[in-house]
Amino acid sequence: MEMTAALVREQGVVFAVVLVQPHVLNSQTQSNDLFQSLRTIRDFQQIPIAFAAQSGNRVLYRGRNDIVNFLKSVPFTALPWRKYRIS
């Protein structure tokens, strides 16, 4: 499976933002399953992970409060998005 994600370093904190479908944000089970799958990617093993979903013209986030607050202040298109493969 291929995922779109961004690795971000801000004020000494490194974290990942993973693009998901909006229904994943609303499902604790799907979010947890995806989180566990992402931990198999070497770059994501020891860092916080936040989820982002586009809904119309809005972007919704789920994750640690400090990370979500930061993401709300940054243009979505400014994040360094790239493709990752989950085995």
Parse the chain into domains and list their residue ranges.
2-85
Residue listed under structure tokens 């992402």: 38
| Local confidence pLDDT in tens for the 87 residues of the chain | 889 999 999 989 999 999 999 999 999 999 999 989 888 888 888 999 999 999 888 999 999 999 999 999 999 999 999 998 876
The pLDDT assigned to 83 comes to 95
Query: Distance (Å, rounded) from C-alpha 10 to C-alpha 18?
Result: 16
Pairing of strands 2-10, 81-85: antiparallel
The pLDDT assigned to 40 comes to 86
Residue 49 near residue 37 (C-beta atoms within 8 A): no
The pLDDT assigned to 65 comes to 95
Please give the model's pTM, rounded to 2 decimal places: 0.90
The pLDDT assigned to 52 comes to 96
